A = this chain, B = another copy of it.
Amino acid sequence: MLVRRFYDDRLAQASFLIGCQQTGDAIVIDPARDIAPYLEAARNEGVRIAHVSETHIHADFVSGTRELAHATGATVHLSGAGGADWQYRYPASDQVSLLQPDDVITLGRVTLRVLHTPGHTPEHIAFVVTDRARSLEPVAIVSGDFLFVGDVGRPDLLEVAAGVAGTKEASARSLFHSLQQLAALPDHLQVWPGHGAGSACGKALGSLPSSTLGYERLTGWAFQASDEAAFVAAVLEGQPTPPPYFAHMKHVNRDGAELLGNAAPAMLAFADLAAARRDGTLLDIRPIAAYQQQHLRGTISIPLRQSLTKWAGWLIPYDRPLYLIADDAAAAVQAQRALAAIGLDRVAGVFGVDALRDAAVAGETESGRRVTILDAARLQHGGTVIIDVREDDEWSHGHISAAVHHPLGTLMTTMAGFDRATPVAVHCQGGTRSAIAASVLDAMGFGDVTDLSGGWKEWQRKVSPA
């Protein structure tokens, strides 16, 4: 048996290539939309991707199932176990096989048996993997968002993110019963989950790539609940706020994501800027420093290298064309791919260095203001409001006493009512998020924005050491 795990750091998301070396048959489970890594791995390992499947309708990224099936001719296996309300609606032309509990997918001497594990979502399935070349005992469970290392998949997303009111308790109860099913499986079973630490699909995911059923049974909080009611209460408590794009993803993945073309976005000239401004969003993906040196007025800066996927999901609207500001076409293509991972497919064009230069000549650019956080007191004294854009838990571990707290993800909403003439200065933990936040406030119309470099780390080191 052959297993390759793929992990997308930005999405904290895992997918798996499982195959039989003797016959060369392989399956990919929970593929991301950028399918190049699967094709390359199959090539290197000498196997053929004959099957593609997924554990459930994902909410946090666009599934690559259709894309990969299209590129390889593989059969698509989708859960048919979700009941009438949770059936996939892929185009009729797609070659789809619906899976029911105890169905088995066979790859040479490797088999995958389907478990129906509702809770995180109604149609969720998991795969019990057996390597018959070694034994009839199962090796592992590909558990998707059902069971994580140290956690379980949250059952409240349908209600909280997708707006299906009144479902979270029922889902939590389903999840409790799904966990009972595992009693029949051995301690030595490896657990290969769909997410790692940092995912919003749970609240306490561990950072190990895998675990074992025995270890989770002994140590996982979800297995210690005394009864269903206790479990339901525990699992619904303390879940993080999901990003707004999750609701959109559910529909995209249920209906089958559109196939990506190969087309690179068009390079635009300064003359195209007025129209882009009118009906689209401007997103600057260059390094922070380039943005601060010179940028188009009204752009949001989320550097390609720094969590573009994550922050775009919070800060960029889905219903408008998106225009990138990029150093070159290659960076734009990378960004296009990263944005497509969460369904931001409407990249309508790219303004490059030529357009920027022409904009500068026309007086349409400005530069940013960045001072060390050690200046915060001086700024505050002069009337500037200090805004801390970190997460709740970071804030609660310590913060500058006179700062106000507006986490980056929801900054546009929470700052919407403020007077744009107020001087503001933003900081975060180390200086990455504050740069994005400064651009957001600038794009919202604040006229006097300062980015405080160094962040809380530097403040602690130099001003108030613990």
Residues of A near any B CB (own CB < 8 A): 1-3, 21, 39, 43, 71-73, 134-135, 137, 139, 150, 186-190, 206-215, 217-219, 261-267, 269, 271, 287-290, 292-294, 329, 353-354, 357, 363, 366-373, 375, 431, 450, 453-454, 458, 461-462
Is there an interface contact between A265 and B262, defined as CB atoms closer than 8 Å?
yes
Q: Which residue of the partner chain B has the closest CB to A221?
A: B134
Cα distance A217–B135 in the bound complex, in angstroms: 11
Q: With A43-B354, A212-B212 as given contacts, are A371 and B370 in contact (CB-CB < 8 Å)?
A: yes
Q: With A186-B187, A190-B210 as given contacts, are A215 and B263 in contact (CB-CB < 8 Å)?
A: no
Is there an interface contact between B212 and A188, defined as CB atoms closer than 8 Å?
yes
Is there an interface contact between A262 and B329, defined as CB atoms closer than 8 Å?
yes
Cα distance A357–B457 in the bound complex, in angstroms: 13
Q: Which residue of the partner chain B has the closest CB to A137?
A: B218
User: How many identical subunits does the complex contain?
Assistant: 4
CB distance from A343 to the nearest CB of B (A): 22
CB distance from A86 to the nearest CB of B (A): 32
- What residues of chain B lie closer than 8 Å to A462, measured between beta carbons? 363
Is there an interface contact between B1 and A207, defined as CB atoms closer than 8 Å?
yes
Q: With A209-B3, A363-B461, A367-B454 as given contacts, are A43 and B357 in contact (CB-CB < 8 Å)?
A: yes
Q: With A289-B287, A292-B453, A329-B262 as given contacts, are A134 and B186 in contact (CB-CB < 8 Å)?
A: no
CB distance from A365 to the nearest CB of B (A): 9
Q: With A208-B1, A208-B3, A287-B289 as given contacts, are A215 and B137 in contact (CB-CB < 8 Å)?
A: yes
From B207, B219, B293, contact of A453 by CB (8 A) = B293
Is there an interface contact between A213 and B190, defined as CB atoms closer than 8 Å?
no
Q: With A190-B210, A453-B292 as given contacts, are A369 and B363 in contact (CB-CB < 8 Å)?
A: no
Q: Which residue of the partner chain B has the closest CB to A213?
A: B188
- What residues of chain B lie closer than 8 Å to A3, measured between beta carbons? 207-209
Is there an interface contact between A368 and B363, defined as CB atoms closer than 8 Å?
no
Cα distance A290–B367 in the bound complex, in angstroms: 17
Q: Which residue of the partner chain B has the closest CB to A375?
A: B369
Q: Which residue of the partner chain B has the closest CB to A214?
A: B188
CB distance from A189 to the nearest CB of B (A): 7
Cα distance A43–B270 in the bound complex, in angstroms: 14
Cα distance A21–B206 in the bound complex, in angstroms: 11
From B189, B288, B366, B372, contact of A289 by CB (8 A) = B288
Cα distance A408–B252 in the bound complex, in angstroms: 54
From B188, B218, B357, B370, contact of A292 by CB (8 A) = B370
Q: Which residue of the partner chain B has the closest CB to A354?
A: B39
Cα distance A453–B217 in the bound complex, in angstroms: 55
Is there an interface contact between A188 and B208, defined as CB atoms closer than 8 Å?
no
- What residues of chain B lie closer than 8 Å to A209, measured between beta carbons? 3
CB distance from A66 to the nearest CB of B (A): 15
CB distance from A208 to the nearest CB of B (A): 6
Is there an interface contact between A207 and B289, defined as CB atoms closer than 8 Å?
no
Is there an interface contact between B271 and A266, defined as CB atoms closer than 8 Å?
no
- What residues of chain B lie closer than 8 Å to A186, measured between beta carbons? 187, 214
Is there an interface contact between B357 and A368, defined as CB atoms closer than 8 Å?
no
CB distance from A159 to the nearest CB of B (A): 29
Cα distance A150–B139 in the bound complex, in angstroms: 12
CB distance from A135 to the nearest CB of B (A): 4
Is there an interface contact between B137 and A219, defined as CB atoms closer than 8 Å?
yes
CB distance from A461 to the nearest CB of B (A): 5
Cα distance A261–B71 in the bound complex, in angstroms: 24
Cα distance A450–B379 in the bound complex, in angstroms: 14
Is there an interface contact between B269 and A73, defined as CB atoms closer than 8 Å?
yes
From B207, B269, B363, contact of A2 by CB (8 A) = B207
Q: With A137-B219, A262-B266 as given contacts, are A187 and B208 in contact (CB-CB < 8 Å)?
A: no
- What residues of chain B lie closer than 8 Å to A73, measured between beta carbons? 269, 271
- What residues of chain B lie closer than 8 Å to A211, measured between beta carbons? 139, 190
From B188, B264, B265, B292, contact of A215 by CB (8 A) = B188
CB distance from A14 to the nearest CB of B (A): 13
- What residues of chain B lie closer than 8 Å to A266, measured between beta carbons? 261-262
Cα distance A453–B454 in the bound complex, in angstroms: 19
- What residues of chain B lie closer than 8 Å to A458, measured between beta carbons? 367
11 CB contacts below 8 A, A to B, read: A1-B208, A189-B212, A210-B210, A212-B212, A262-B266, A287-B289, A292-B453, A293-B431, A366-B372, A367-B373, A368-B372
